[in-house]
Structure 1
Amino acid sequence: MAAAGGYYLGVDLSTQQLKAIAIDDNLNVIHETSVKFDDDLPEFGTQDGAHVHSDKLTVTTPVLLWVKALDMLLERMKISNFDFSKLKSLSGTGQQHGSVYWKEGAIQTLKNMPDDRSLHQILETSFAVKESPIWMDSSTTEECLQLEKSVGGPQNLADITGSRAYERFTGNQIAKINKKNPEDYKKTERISLVSSFVASLFLGDYAAIDYSDGSGMNLMDIRAHNWSQRCLDACAPGLKEKLGAPLPSHSILGSVSPYYVKRFGFNSECKVIAFTGDNPASLAGMQLQRGDIASTIFLRLGFPVVSMRLFIEFFSFKNGSLTREKIRDESASGSWDEFAKALKATCPGNNGNLGFYFDVMEITPAVVGIHRFNAKNCKVSKFPKEVDVRAVIEGQMLAKRAYAEKLGFEVLKDTRVLATGGASSNPDILQVLADVFNAPVYTRDTTNSACLGCAYRAKHGLQAASGQSFADTMKNAPEPKVAVTPACEVDKVYGPMLARYMELEKLVRNNC
């Protein structure tokens, strides 16, 4: 039996690592563990957690890497004497849009996992597709055009699913697999998103896709909260049965598999709450208030429509932390300390030098390549190293503000920027973020907001059954703290620079 006072576990399978955070009944973090794919599982040969194929558009990750990472994560928690018996519930998240293809008969393997073997040994032959397409994949332009055509155009598709066709979205990835590898598709009995895949591992059964993550597939009728048959038919035959029925994001899927009870000492009553995508999970971990903006471009906006209603919007970008790391390696000897010195050696505005750094095809704008401009708006081939460092940071932060303003954001006296992810622990990068937005930047004690959000969601999932709201669950959660404030009158620099950035982005987009 579990001891008095329970724990709640959040798990995050991101692009580069698998992380876990446990909280107690008072929402305090009591444990954190991670497995870094490139470092801890080098036998899979990934770079930054993925395989980029020769066409530079196809990007995948081996499914068994993720399975073996969960083996390693739980073993590390066990070695650290984490008390699994106190877990009341768990939930989690996965990088959005990625897909996993379970082979015929895999359900029986999941339901009958012997506790004397590791997960990756048990599931080694359970997948029809060995390499899962992930969110960085841009190889499905043809399938996107076909999907839009089949429903009467991009606007009609957006009216149904909430988005025009995007190359990374799961429906288009499924269509490509059905077209290029039809035998693999025929052998598939269930298709999971990365989020519902990890939930399935814990559940010992196929886990339902939640509404939130399911809405990023170009397959769901977002008003009916169910799959659109027109979209399904346009992608692959028999797809509805392979996906299963979607469920609300707070749903209790069942109790954890007996495998975890016997092998790790989980409480047999520990509930598995529906897993979701990394963006909504991050949102759950941030506790945005009206007028806030998060560093991944979540906005909580208030609009006077008869009565005040709250809307949450977000933009995501591919070229983020990995692009910063590349410039760090090229221009700062691979050292964050040297990177910080370069930032401090240059002034806000970078003397008019401005850059666009897209190592892979960006989502918005759909552009690839490095594009540098001097103060006269002339394109140049390179910058001095310290100028390059500031240019990549300022360019990323200006992009965040530019797209935030397109959604209706404006800086007010009470505006807060909530930073998360690896950059949230770097005060020099946060200073540029604060300066560009002309608003204070807040952070939490943990940088893993998605993982923390899922630990919160795990607790709320138990309480939602009795009608308790997520806000009620979170009322005693620790508040974020001010990390940096904007420099005085810095908006006089970045205000004009923002308008110039948008004009140059238009030029880059048209030229590409």
Structure 2
Amino acid sequence: MNYVIGIDLGTSAVKSALVDREGQVAGEHSESYPLMRPKPGYSEQNPEDWVEGTIRSLERLIVKTGIQPSQVDGISFSGQMHGLVLVDGDGKPLRPAILWNDTRTTAQCRKIESALGERLLDIARNKALEGFTLPKLLWVQENEPELLEQAKLFLLPKDYVRFRLTGEYATEYSDAAGTLLLDAAAKDWSAEIAQAFNLPLSLCPPLTESFGQTGGLLPEIAERAGLAPGTKVFAGGADNACGALGAGILGEGRTMCSIGTSGVVLSYESDKTLNLKGSAHFFNHAEKDGYYIMGVTLAAGYSLTWFKETFAGDKSFDDLLAGIGDIPAGSGGLLFTPYIVGERTPHADSDIRGSFIGMDSGHSLTHFARAVLEGITFSLRESVDIVRGAGKEIKEIVSIGGGARNPDWLQMQADIFNATIIRLESEQGPALGAAMLAAYGAGWFGSLEECAAAFIRPAGAYQPNPEQVGRYEGIYSLYQDVYGQTRELNRRLAEYRN
């Protein structure tokens, strides 16, 4: 039996998954690493922690599964997006990596908007947000100019790890799309954007397809990891692109809803000329010449975690949600907005905050728990509406993450989205998507579609209930009013938060 390995480089840990030719996960191992917050709003990591964690994860995976190094046909990556790693001429990081959730770059975002205006949306297809890579580069340019002068390249997190494993520099289109420096349609770095900020294009790494081979394991790395020298390594993809692969989002109309700490609605797109004017993210897919539309709820699963820890710390999630199916849609007139850390789609607003509206003495803990789930799902519905507004017909949505583990929540998604919700038999998310890129790159399949057909198996479906759909339409309309009604209140309250 031969295998491929998918490596998912996350914010808190790296996971390696060993996958066979049928898409079955034969073993996995995770290694965590620290997050540094040296100042409010800063979020950084040591890139070498990623490398060491990845090597340990691979080594322990091989030991646990007992396979022979010769049985591994390829390795590929999924990675946290947007993070900035600046390396010198020897490939050594010049400073800690600035991560996707670092918010120090608001001033740089305004500078980008002022300099480029609508051209940014024409070229990069995304608004300037603090999470993206270009604002981070401009922050270094303004605050640590001596480091930028020493830099040979900037790399994204997974691309730095892959460089250390293979000695070869590269990135691929799905991760490059999250930098604000890629011309999404042309699939090339934008000289216009770089020149607007006096950034040399030579800072940008070489581009390749997600399934392109980017070297082989260096002998010293292979020895430490327990793998064969020269084991093929493929470029990989951004975490959301790989999550989409792992959910089979590889054709027109295919859409997924992923509810983790944040929430994502992602739909496949083939039209490279589509310009949503920043109402949702538009990124290159890991599939060749594919794209995807994506909306983000910043505090999806996190809203539920916050609620449990704050108001029901003695209960498990299963116990907290045990009775929500007995509460009617609308939670007895109780409405929750999940803006507890701000919001991304459709309101790119860092000041907005969450609310419970309609509380009365008849509401129980279970009413509140159901209201939290409904509020999260309403927020995700706004992203579904954007996709539908772009001309996409959405009849089925693959649900993954924490939102796919509770039957009542799955039915709620079907009713609020008015679409059939598909649950998968085995959900490995981005790690499986990375393994699929390795499997396709290694020649196991003739296309990623063939790979998805072999690897991904539905386990159940939830149909929308017409009566509930109608009831939720009215409640959803009320939900949409809350943002406008509370925006100014939250702006005025912001000065009292500290």
Q: TM-score, normalised by structure 2?
A: 0.83
Q: In structure 2, how many angstroms separate the alpha carbons of the residues matched to 1:359 and 1:479?
A: 35
SS state at 1:432 partner? helix
Q: In structure 2, how many angstroms separate the alpha carbons of the residues matched to 1:483 and 1:164?
A: 35
**Are the aligned partners of 2:381 and 2:416 in contact in 1 as well (CA < 8 Å)?**
yes
> Which residue of 95, 99, 102 maps to 1:129?
95
* Residue 129 of structure 1, CA deviation: 1.1
Residue 188 (structure 1) aligned with residue 151 (structure 2): yes
Counterparts of 1:424-463 in structure 2 under 5 Å? Answer: 424-463=404-443
**Are the aligned partners of 2:217 and 2:229 in contact in 1 as well (CA < 8 Å)?**
yes
Q: Give the corresponding residue for 1:138.
A: 103
CA distances 1:141-164 after superposition (whole Å, capped 9, x unpaired): 21112223223x1x1111111112
Residue 62 (structure 1) aligned with residue 46 (structure 2): yes
- Which deviates more from structure 2 when the two are superposed, residues 89-98 or residues 282-291? 282-291
* Residue 373 of structure 1, CA deviation: 4.5
CA distances 1:254-301 after superposition (whole Å, capped 9, x unpaired): 112212332233233421111210111111111135444311211247
State the AA in 1 paired with 2:108. E
Q: Give the corresponding residue for 2:495.
A: none
**Are the aligned partners of 2:296 and 2:383 in contact in 1 as well (CA < 8 Å)?**
no
Counterparts of 1:195-210 in structure 2 under 5 Å? Answer: 195-203=158-166, 205-210=167-172
CA distances 1:293-352 after superposition (whole Å, capped 9, x unpaired): 31121124799x9xxx99742212322223321112112215212321353463321122
CA distances 1:426-484 after superposition (whole Å, capped 9, x unpaired): 334333323322434322233321110110111112339xx933223334334222154
- When residues 89 and 441 of structure 1 are mapped into structure 2, their CA distance, relative to the original with a 3 A threshold, is same
Q: Give the corresponding residue for 1:496.
A: 474
- When residues 196 and 352 of structure 1 are mapped into structure 2, their CA distance, relative to the original with a 3 A threshold, is same
* Residue 54 of structure 1, CA deviation: 4.4
**Are the aligned partners of 1:292 and 1:300 in contact in 2 as well (CA < 8 Å)?**
yes
State the AA in 2 paired with 1:211. Y
Q: In structure 1, how many angstroms separate the alpha carbons of the residues matched to 2:113 and 2:354?
A: 31
**Are the aligned partners of 2:404 and 2:410 in contact in 1 as well (CA < 8 Å)?**
yes
Q: In structure 1, how many angstroms separate the alpha carbons of the residues matched to 2:161 and 2:413?
A: 34
CA distances 1:355-413 after superposition (whole Å, capped 9, x unpaired): 222332322212345432434xxx99xx8643432222111111111221122169999
Q: In structure 1, how many angstroms separate the alpha carbons of the residues matched to 2:247 and 2:391?
A: 19
Q: Give the corresponding residue for 1:325.
A: 305
SS state at 1:349 partner? coil
Q: In structure 1, how many angstroms separate the alpha carbons of the residues matched to 2:472 and 2:378?
A: 8
Q: In structure 2, how many angstroms separate the alpha carbons of the residues matched to 1:52 and 1:505?
A: 30
State the AA in 2 paired with 1:8. V
SS state at 1:15 partner? coil
CA distances 1:206-240 after superposition (whole Å, capped 9, x unpaired): 431101210111111223322112322344543x2
Structure 1 unmatched runs, 5+: 45-49, 107-125
- When residues 412 and 170 of structure 1 are mapped into structure 2, their CA distance, relative to the original with a 3 A threshold, is closer
**Are the aligned partners of 2:7 and 2:435 in contact in 1 as well (CA < 8 Å)?**
yes
State the AA in 1 paired with 2:460. V
- When residues 202 and 452 of structure 1 are mapped into structure 2, their CA distance, relative to the original with a 3 A threshold, is same
**Are the aligned partners of 2:125 and 2:184 in contact in 1 as well (CA < 8 Å)?**
yes
CA distances 1:230-253 after superposition (whole Å, capped 9, x unpaired): 322344543x22322222222111
Q: In structure 2, how many angstroms separate the alpha carbons of the residues matched to 1:423 and 1:10?
A: 23
Q: Give the corresponding residue for 2:332.
A: 351
- Which deviates more from structure 2 when the two are superposed, residues 184-193 or residues 366-375? 366-375
State the AA in 1 paired with 2:354. H
Q: Give the corresponding residue for 2:174.
A: 212
SS state at 2:65 partner? coil
Residue 85 (structure 1) aligned with residue 57 (structure 2): no
State the AA in 2 paired with 1:294. M
Counterparts of 1:294-305 in structure 2 under 5 Å? Answer: 294-295=256-257, 296-300=264-268
- When residues 413 and 246 of structure 1 are mapped into structure 2, their CA distance, relative to the original with a 3 A threshold, is closer
Q: Give the corresponding residue for 1:221.
A: 183
Q: Give the corresponding residue for 1:471.
A: 449
Q: In structure 2, how many angstroms separate the alpha carbons of the residues matched to 1:352 and 1:411?
A: 33
Q: In structure 1, how many angstroms separate the alpha carbons of the residues matched to 2:4 and 2:13?
A: 20
- When residues 69 and 363 of structure 1 are mapped into structure 2, their CA distance, relative to the original with a 3 A threshold, is same
Q: In structure 1, how many angstroms separate the alpha carbons of the residues matched to 2:469 and 2:185?
A: 41
- When residues 236 and 340 of structure 1 are mapped into structure 2, their CA distance, relative to the original with a 3 A threshold, is farther
- Which deviates more from structure 2 when the two are superposed, residues 418-427 or residues 174-183? 418-427
Structure 2 unmatched runs, 5+: 258-263, 274-288, 492-498
Q: Give the corresponding residue for 2:19.
A: 23
Q: In structure 1, how many angstroms separate the alpha carbons of the residues matched to 2:269 and 2:108?
A: 34
SS state at 1:419 partner? strand
Q: TM-score, normalised by structure 1?
A: 0.81
SS state at 1:362 partner? coil
Counterparts of 1:378-417 in structure 2 under 5 Å? Answer: 385-408=365-388, 415-417=395-397
**Are the aligned partners of 2:384 and 2:417 in contact in 1 as well (CA < 8 Å)?**
no
SS state at 2:120 partner? helix
**Are the aligned partners of 1:444 and 1:481 in contact in 2 as well (CA < 8 Å)?**
yes
Calculate the aligned-residue CA RMSD, in Å: 3.1
**Are the aligned partners of 2:255 and 2:267 in contact in 1 as well (CA < 8 Å)?**
yes
Q: In structure 1, how many angstroms separate the alpha carbons of the residues matched to 2:198 and 2:319?
A: 51
SS state at 1:476 partner? helix
Q: In structure 1, how many angstroms separate the alpha carbons of the residues matched to 2:137 and 2:52?
A: 24
**Are the aligned partners of 1:226 and 1:245 in contact in 2 as well (CA < 8 Å)?**
no
**Are the aligned partners of 1:251 and 1:273 in contact in 2 as well (CA < 8 Å)?**
yes
State the AA in 2 paired with 1:24. D
* Residue 88 of structure 1, CA deviation: 0.7
SS state at 2:483 partner? helix
Q: In structure 2, how many angstroms separate the alpha carbons of the residues matched to 1:231 and 1:290?
A: 30
**Are the aligned partners of 1:178 and 1:236 in contact in 2 as well (CA < 8 Å)?**
no
- When residues 234 and 90 of structure 1 are mapped into structure 2, their CA distance, relative to the original with a 3 A threshold, is same
Q: In structure 2, how many angstroms separate the alpha carbons of the residues matched to 1:159 and 1:416?
A: 30
